[in-house]
Structure 1
Amino acid sequence: MTPDHDEFSISLNPSPSNGEIAVLFSGEALPVPLHKMGPAIHDYYLIHTVLSGYGDFTIGGASYRCSVGDSFIIFPGELFSYQADEHEPWRYAWFAFVGSGAAAALAAVGASPGNPVVKGSLNPQTRHYYDRLRNSLAEPLSAELSNLEAEGWVRLLLRQLGAGRAKEGAEPDGPATEAEQVVKRALQFLTLQYAQPISISRMASMLGYHRTYLCKLFKQSVGASPMQYLLQIRMQRAELLLSGSMPIEQVASSVGFADALYFSKKFRAWSGQSPSDYRKALRNLP
């Protein structure tokens, strides 16, 4: 405990890495009412996440009222100050970092000197990540392993900020928005998993949707059923592979068919030619 904090703990990194994300320190504190930092300038990035209470954050001449769930970000070279509320002072956790990828990481989550506060970034996982980050710095097995672990927790925390920014900027959900999300996830699943055995029931279960609901939204959006779309992906991929020298049995297994004869039947129905005839036709092209 310090005179200006009822609770205070910090873990320093004695040997920060020179990588894309280099963690400098992390801590958690409960300052006394009206405790103030700044005006000041840092030469590193510093992110605070409010765990409870209230406070005010100023950067670039703009002021922000922050409460539980908000994360406020101090950018290098930017004049800032922040102050705890008089009646309900905030408790916050923080981490500081630098690195060649630091600016890009914050840009990816939508944070900038003009948008330095992310709302809705706190959940049980966030608190857990902060705890693990401090532990990784306080009890390192080695400098290399400590940096590897600390940088991993920081990336997860940045991901939480990105999720908070997405929620902050999202419009209220409606049927169209929900449908777009469902179809997008299904398309991604089919595009990435076409080489695996896939059933609509299994896909719906993995994505967390009812089979009938998923199929209805998918067909309304894409104009084909999920299985029709899957067949299209597989056949287009097979056409590409047949332009090379891979044996037809291997082409079949590469696009999700365990039975080469069944694959040949489906390919003939798709293209009007057997796989071997399709390959011969390609080779005879001028």
Structure 2
Amino acid sequence: MLEHVFFKLGVNSLPARGELSVLFSGHAKPVPSHQIGPAVHDYYLVHTVMSGNGTFEIEGKRYDCEQGDTFVIFPEVLFTYAADPVCPWTYRWVSFKGHLAQSLLGSMGITPSEPVVRLGNLRAVTRLYRRLELTLQSSSYPELADLEANGLLRLLLKEFGADNAEKLAFDTLEIVPDIERQINQAVRWLSLKYAQPVSIEDLSRTLGYHRMHLSRMFKRATGLSPMKFLLKVRMERAGELLTESMNLSIDQIAASVGYADPLYFSKQFRKWYGCSPSDYRVNNRIL
């Protein structure tokens, strides 16, 4: 019995395990009244309606879907979906797994009780779906196809999140004062740039604050001045390298945490830990 007017599918032949991993992607136009379910899957399956109409049922609720609607099937959750008997839908889909999937979808407000997203930029989503399907169909290198497909999936999820903005629940979306955001940025900057020459004047200028004001607000937020915080980051990283990288010399570790002068590094290290870098390495060696 004919179930689809057309049906195209791309399968990931080498899906990786991890945060998110695409399993397959495709597009199809079912015949009128074509139905899947009631059933359950052991993976996530997202459908986006390109044209036409249909219905989606999950957790006892029914959703009438049309062009631009995206509905999500969740692992081990009973679902049913069916094409309209008069104007059956055409849709694209992507299936994926991963330990990040549930929390990521939840943070975007996509859950079994809120499984449908109304898209505003269907053209951008369609392009991503097409690239995703083509990648899985045509690549001669499965490992690279998996890498590209997983990247495209993240871009696709970003589009879903952007169109579901009123339901987003990311912690980073909390409204915080401008100075607090700037302090958080300064903390990240110092935590990443500790191995390079650091100027608090340059940092203040970049963030748009006077050095004294930034230092005062930084200490109020962290309990440390910017330079003291930088010293803490450098010393903690030096301690890690001394115990975890036995092949690195003291001079190399000094350079790795931002000290061109090994003697000055050793002096600062002794003030912080109460012993020399060499003694610290001996006393904290990981067996």
Instruction: Provide TM-score, normalisation by structure 2.
Output: 0.62
In the alignment, the residues of structure 2 paired with residue 180 and residue 265 of structure 1 have an alpha-carbon distance, to the nearest angstrom, of: 34
Change (3 A) 1:220 1:80: farther
- Cross-structure match for 1:79: 79
How far has the Cα of 1:57 moved from its partner?
A: 3.3
Change (3 A) 1:282 1:155: closer
The SS at the match of 1:137 is: helix
- Cross-structure match for 2:238: 238
Segment drifting more, 161-170 vs 189-198: 161-170
The SS at the match of 1:72 is: strand
- Cross-structure match for 2:265: 263
- Cross-structure match for 1:104: 99
Preserved contact between residue 57 and residue 65 of structure 1 (Cα < 8 Å)? yes
How far has the Cα of 1:63 moved from its partner?
A: 3.1
Preserved contact between residue 234 and residue 257 of structure 2 (Cα < 8 Å)? yes
In the alignment, the residues of structure 2 paired with residue 225 and residue 22 of structure 1 have an alpha-carbon distance, to the nearest angstrom, of: 45
Instruction: Select the residue among 199, 204, 209 that pairs with 1:212.
Output: 209
Segment drifting more, 245-254 vs 166-175: 166-175
1:244-275 deviation digits (Å, cap 9, x = unpaired): 9764322311211123244345446x4496x7
Change (3 A) 1:237 1:42: closer
Preserved contact between residue 71 and residue 121 of structure 1 (Cα < 8 Å)? no
Preserved contact between residue 48 and residue 72 of structure 1 (Cα < 8 Å)? yes
In the alignment, the residues of structure 2 paired with residue 279 and residue 133 of structure 1 have an alpha-carbon distance, to the nearest angstrom, of: 53
Change (3 A) 1:170 1:148: closer
In the alignment, the residues of structure 2 paired with residue 188 and residue 220 of structure 1 have an alpha-carbon distance, to the nearest angstrom, of: 16
1:75-99 deviation digits (Å, cap 9, x = unpaired): 3562222567x99x987532234xx
1:153 aligns with 2:159: no
Preserved contact between residue 133 and residue 153 of structure 1 (Cα < 8 Å)? yes
User: For residues 37-52 of structure 1, what are the structure 2 equivalents within 5 Å?
Assistant: 38=35, 40=37, 41=39, 43=41, 45-49=44-48
Preserved contact between residue 54 and residue 90 of structure 1 (Cα < 8 Å)? yes
User: Partner amino acid for 2:187?
Assistant: L
Identity in percent = 35
The SS at the match of 1:73 is: strand
Change (3 A) 1:154 1:174: closer
Change (3 A) 1:180 1:107: farther
Preserved contact between residue 215 and residue 225 of structure 1 (Cα < 8 Å)? no
1:99-155 deviation digits (Å, cap 9, x = unpaired): xxx163421312553443356796886444323102213433355654554344335
Preserved contact between residue 10 and residue 134 of structure 2 (Cα < 8 Å)? no
1:167-191 deviation digits (Å, cap 9, x = unpaired): 6234996752666555445434433
User: For residues 216-227 of structure 1, what are the structure 2 equivalents within 5 Å?
Assistant: 218-227=218-227
Query: 5+ residue gaps in structure 1?
Result: none
Number of corresponding residues: 266
Instruction: Select the residue among 7, 10, 33 that pairs with 2:8.
Output: 10
Instruction: Provide TM-score, normalisation by structure 1.
Output: 0.63
How far has the Cα of 1:47 moved from its partner?
A: 0.4
Change (3 A) 1:194 1:125: farther
Segment drifting more, 238-247 vs 72-81: 238-247
